[in-house]
Structure 1
């Protein structure tokens, strides 16, 4: 079940054979407008009622809710006596809303799954969950990601890289939380010291932030980052094929944004060293000095210096990339993640059954 709003992934899920039900749902917003909150309160009862009918009609055993500001599914599941699993997947929700909503999460959820331990710690009350807290990681089929000279040649061609270019790349939709403007400034700083550095931004425009791409292009022009130094490419389904063409992967996400970015795991699986900002659970993926470098967010010179460090040392770059690949294979297997979900759902059903 998905809310009726832009970017809700309904088409993508249906394309993968998943049955999808779309219905209007309100959510808490970080706003002081009383009308927004009154709208949620007025709609809460009918929306929960609609979900309860859906649960009964489809004979659903477990309800999974996403994010602390979306309580309707958990309320419906609890009222119907079903297992409730609540997932915390990032840190975008303002702290004032986390403090307001987390008591309900702790009370209603049989199991809370979080994208990494740091994301859980960023939500008040999770320390009281004990075994009800299950840290997880992004779902990724590692078999799609490989390196190798032939794949690298094809990937660099697809990226428009020239002989001698040192290619920095990021995979992230054009959304302010990804901090692309800070990465542009970092690369501008870097090119003053390493003119062979070029940047490839692999990301589609965001329906919820239609002006952001234009803002980025204006910033790139101000920094004199023009093609072929900078290319913004919508990769569609080509991310596994394009990543081997990079020399370093970078992600400049801002504070109060990420959980465990899937893009970092994709880069690690592609044997790339990672330079990323210290937000969310990023440091649980990137081991500083071993599989990449972690820098403060919103600091272009720090990110630029980290990128320069890796571009200047090919041997260390390759060693970090190899370690990253090993870490991805050893710790983030898709079958292991499926098993974590299965155990969480079974625990939720058993815990709920014990109350009947």
Structure 2
């Protein structure tokens, strides 16, 4: 339980402690710095923590921000749970340092044993994170959500600044003021995925720490229009080059509202029977029943199996997005879906449900359409407008690419994170000085 699994990334910089910078965080300890470490004291370290083992938007942030923040004097390390899933492999493959420990999370279950296991293991897992923070000389902890506070507790006990990221609108409205009070009690800076999410949680109230709205990072040099990828992927799945393709890039879980996606696909197929439907995304053990029910609904849909393609998880999603004509997002709740921003960067118009920040990300009528959630008819109608009007689709795709480069590029997200990280450090030092 106390052993950390670390990737063998070359050039890993271990900070030599904070004595030289004056940033004394109380219980942290440091060994005598080597000459190499002394030469790299300008590099700060952030630990990005995610409690889910299957790759998704939050893992993508941690993975892409490491390289983008390096020129700004930061290294991002990632902590993931030690359980089956593709997240650790993908993040390591991108060159980031990954640690794994047993890391429980709350479950949607009536089984009391699962909740008891969470409570029993919480102190041990907090202690393990505290050791990691000391051993790796972490300067700031980045955390998200509000149901798994392990790293927030560990960081506060170690007197290390916390950047708290609020990424979606999953909570019940009546509980949001309480959630924000809890977050403010721990956080030294708060980040929201989009200004709408910030307004929803805070209203007009100014919190006690600095707030940073942001959009998930998109590598617009990787995610770009690519005709060769479009041809290759369509050949891979025997999709005619002139056939309309409606796509999804989402893991198979209930948040994504994929049953509405399937029902919209049926309505689209009834009017445009030459349409293909392409899903990129992973299944997970915790959502196996939901995934099985989706497959049953696809089987009953009347869409031929060769036209409803379940391609599973893919590391090179930029290639598969290029094969799509429209990306359709049917989420019940979101912050801002990273894969929708990536589709825009590839020049693919997006049809998305109007949840949290999606109406900010997708400019309705300009880069795609925004429709009410849980409404297959509206999803289908918007997608049909795009596939039945190639000129509209082309114009929206071109504007989507321009908009993505201007608003969602990785460099923009990295600079916002740098500001948040440094704001958190400054806030924690002010508190320490006030106590002194």
- Note whether the superposition's TM-score is higher than 0.5: yes
**Candidates 406, 430, 434, aligned match of 1:330:** 406
Deviations 1:199-241 (A, max 9, x none): 1112222332123333222212212112222111125123211
Q: Check 1:22–1:163 CA distance in 2 against 1; reply closer, same or farther (3 A cut).
A: closer
Q: CA deviation at 1:39?
A: 5.2
**Candidates 183, 208, 218, aligned match of 2:261:** 183
**Candidates 309, 330, 346, aligned match of 2:385:** 309
Note if contact 1:155-1:243 (Cα within 8 Å) is conserved in structure 2: no
Q: Check 1:241–1:26 CA distance in 2 against 1; reply closer, same or farther (3 A cut).
A: closer
Where structure 1 has 5 or more consecutive residues not aligned to the other structure, the ranges are none
Equivalence for 1:74: 152
Q: Check 1:336–1:68 CA distance in 2 against 1; reply closer, same or farther (3 A cut).
A: same
Note if contact 1:66-1:88 (Cα within 8 Å) is conserved in structure 2: yes
Equivalence for 2:22: none
CA distance in 1, matches of 2:358, 2:297: 26
Pairs within 5 Å for 1:77-116: 77-94=155-172, 98=176, 100-116=178-194
Q: Could you say what secondary structure the match of 1:181 adopts?
A: helix
Q: Check 1:238–1:79 CA distance in 2 against 1; reply closer, same or farther (3 A cut).
A: closer
Q: CA deviation at 1:318?
A: 0.8
Q: CA deviation at 1:98?
A: 4.7
CA distance in 1, matches of 2:344, 2:151: 34
Deviations 1:229-275 (A, max 9, x none): 21111251232112222221111112xx3221111011101111111
Q: Is 1:284 paired with 2:348? A: no
RMSD over aligned Cα atoms: 2.6
Q: Is 1:263 paired with 2:339? A: yes
Note if contact 1:106-1:125 (Cα within 8 Å) is conserved in structure 2: no
- Which stretch of structure 1 is more off in the superposition, 39-48 or 218-227? 39-48
- Which stretch of structure 1 is more off in the superposition, 140-149 or 275-284? 140-149
Note if contact 2:230-2:322 (Cα within 8 Å) is conserved in structure 1: yes
CA distance in 2, matches of 1:214, 1:36: 22
CA distance in 2, matches of 1:135, 1:111: 11
Q: Check 1:127–1:189 CA distance in 2 against 1; reply closer, same or farther (3 A cut).
A: same
CA distance in 1, matches of 2:119, 2:211: 29
Q: Check 1:125–1:313 CA distance in 2 against 1; reply closer, same or farther (3 A cut).
A: closer
Equivalence for 2:19: none
Pairs within 5 Å for 1:42-61: 42-61=120-139
CA distance in 1, matches of 2:421, 2:161: 7
Note if contact 1:142-1:269 (Cα within 8 Å) is conserved in structure 2: yes
Equivalence for 2:29: none
CA distance in 2, matches of 1:81, 1:204: 37
Note if contact 1:167-1:197 (Cα within 8 Å) is conserved in structure 2: yes
Note if contact 2:341-2:361 (Cα within 8 Å) is conserved in structure 1: yes
Q: CA deviation at 1:78?
A: 2.1
Q: Check 1:158–1:312 CA distance in 2 against 1; reply closer, same or farther (3 A cut).
A: same
Q: Check 1:96–1:164 CA distance in 2 against 1; reply closer, same or farther (3 A cut).
A: same
Equivalence for 2:27: none
**Candidates 352, 371, 375, aligned match of 1:299:** 375
Equivalence for 1:2: 80
Note if contact 2:234-2:241 (Cα within 8 Å) is conserved in structure 1: no
Q: Is 1:239 paired with 2:239? A: no
CA distance in 1, matches of 2:268, 2:400: 24
Q: Is 1:12 paired with 2:90? A: yes
CA distance in 2, matches of 1:350, 1:116: 24
CA distance in 2, matches of 1:335, 1:27: 32
How many residue pairs were aligned? 354
Where structure 2 has 5 or more consecutive residues not aligned to the other structure, the ranges are 1-78
CA distance in 2, matches of 1:37, 1:174: 24
**Candidates 189, 197, 208, aligned match of 2:286:** 208
Q: CA deviation at 1:69?
A: 1.5
TM-score (norm. length: structure 1): 0.89
